[in-house]
Amino acid sequence: MQVVKSISELRNLIQDAKKGDHSVGFVPTMGALHEGHLSLVKESKKNCDLTVVSIFVNPTQFAPTEDLDKYPRNIELDTEMLTSVGVDILFFPSKEEIYPPGASTFVNVEKITEAFEGAIRPTHFRGVATVVSALFNIVQPDRAFFGQKDLQQVAVIKQMVRDLHFPIEIEVVETTRESDGLAMSSRNRYLSHEERAESLILSKTLFQVRDHLLAGLPLAEAKLRGIKFFGSLKKKAVLEYLDIVDPETFQFAESFKPSEELGVVIAARIGATRLIDNILVKAK
Ligand code: PAJ
């Protein structure tokens, strides 16, 4: 695996690959890698000739009050993991390489970003859309791989790609979970032993709501029962939202028609750690 820090070096490598008619797959990450990230890499390897992974803890998607400085970083371990799954190129730029002094351009996707993560973290998606468009311009992949784990992020990126005419296929890979159901996340390592046990409340609540929806309960009732269920299990956990949405637009879903797919989305704080999760439910 080649580790590249400069944009110009990366561009040369990718141009050579494209001359050989090789397709380029791209997996953007912030590092602190786990099996969820690796599942995206494996999909890219399956579908593309050359796989590029980026590790960049993007400052513009963190609010001043958030965990930018504390965000877990372990480049040695990440490099080992990426080598073990056969990544071709790791792009590991500095902050100045991505945001040269004086950088002042942002990409703002409207509507989809108004609620849920966008409401709680008002500048988050602006930072995500900005860095992902910069990375897309640098890497110029044929396909880019994102996790369903961040379902609203997927909707934002797809909208941005449509609106700005990026010639890139967006592939979505399903959420990798621990064996007990907790969605893998770099932030899980913040959890104490007790909080880790309580973190199951997110996936358990989602699975309850899914069962209610599949049993034909009206959406409002399924949500209400989900909130009550969360309340019955919680010790320290604080529910931020539990809702049923159209996964493409992130508007509240109003009905559940045959063959339609709905997203059930949840966010909760457990102690100082904020966790998000979701599931997609398809009507029979
Ligand atoms: P990060 O949180 O590092 O996640 C990188 C990619 O891995 C995202 O597409 C995310 O959805 C996916 N991912 C995380 N946990 C997963 C899991 N349990 N199963 C499957 N996929 C999972 O998301 C970001 O970084 C950033 O916002 C980024 C897109 C890199 C822009 O800075």
CATH of the domain at 101: 3.40.50.620
> Does the pLDDT value for residue 259 go beyond 90?
no
CATH of the domain at 245: 3.30.1300.10
* Averaged pLDDT, 181-210: 98
165: left (phi over 0), alpha (psi -120 to 50) or beta: left
Considering the domain architecture, whether residues 71 and 200 belong to the same structural domain is answered as no
Q: Are 62 and 68 in contact (CB under 8 A)?
A: yes
Could you tell me the distance, in angstroms and rounded to a whole number, from the CA of residue 103 to the centre of ligand 1? 24
> Does the pLDDT value for residue 284 go beyond 90?
no
Ligand 1 neighbourhood includes 172 CB (under 6 angstroms): no
Considering the domain architecture, whether residues 228 and 162 belong to the same structural domain is answered as no
- Of 129, 146, 173, the residue that ends a domain is 173
Residue 124 has a pLDDT of 98
Q: What is the pLDDT of residues 236-257, one digit of tens each?
A: 999 999 999 999 999 999 999 8
Considering the domain architecture, whether residues 167 and 199 belong to the same structural domain is answered as no
Could you tell me the distance, in angstroms and rounded to a whole number, from the CA of residue 122 to the centre of ligand 1? 19
DSSP string covering 42-93: HHHHHH-SEEEEEE---GGGS-TTSSTTTS---HHHHHHHHHHTT-SEEE--
Q: What is the pLDDT of residues 108-132, one digit of tens each?
A: 999 999 999 999 999 999 999 999 9
Domain annotation covers residue 181: no
Respond yes or no: is residue 37 known to be catalytic. Answer: yes
Domain annotation covers residue 178: no
Q: Could you give the CA distance from residue 255 to residue 83 in angstroms, rounded to a whole number?
A: 46
Question: What's the mean per-residue pLDDT of the chain?
Answer: 97
Residue 258 has a pLDDT of 80
* Averaged pLDDT, 188-211: 98
Question: Which residues span the domain enclosing 268?
Answer: 186-279
Residue 215 has a pLDDT of 96
Considering the domain architecture, whether residues 48 and 75 belong to the same structural domain is answered as yes
Considering the domain architecture, whether residues 168 and 193 belong to the same structural domain is answered as no
Residue 283 has a pLDDT of 85
The pLDDT-based confidence of 211 (bands split at 50, 70, 90) is very high
Q: Could you give the CA distance from residue 108 to residue 102 in angstroms, rounded to a whole number?
A: 19
Could you tell me the distance, in angstroms and rounded to a whole number, from the CA of residue 147 to the centre of ligand 1? 6
Ligand 1 neighbourhood includes 208 CB (under 6 angstroms): no
Considering the domain architecture, whether residues 21 and 100 belong to the same structural domain is answered as yes
User: Based on the structure, what is the number of domains in the chain?
Assistant: 2
Q: In the chain, what percentage of residues exceed pLDDT 90? A: 97
* Averaged pLDDT, 224-243: 98
Ligand 1 neighbourhood includes 39 CB (under 6 angstroms): yes
HSE-up (13 A, CA, CB side) for residue 193: 0
Question: Which one is catalytic: 34, 37, 124, 193?
Answer: 37
> pTM to 2 decimals?
0.98
Q: What is the pLDDT of residues 133-161, one digit of tens each?
A: 999 999 999 999 999 999 999 999 999 99
Q: Could you give the CA distance from residue 77 to residue 12 in angstroms, rounded to a whole number?
A: 27
The pLDDT-based confidence of 166 (bands split at 50, 70, 90) is very high
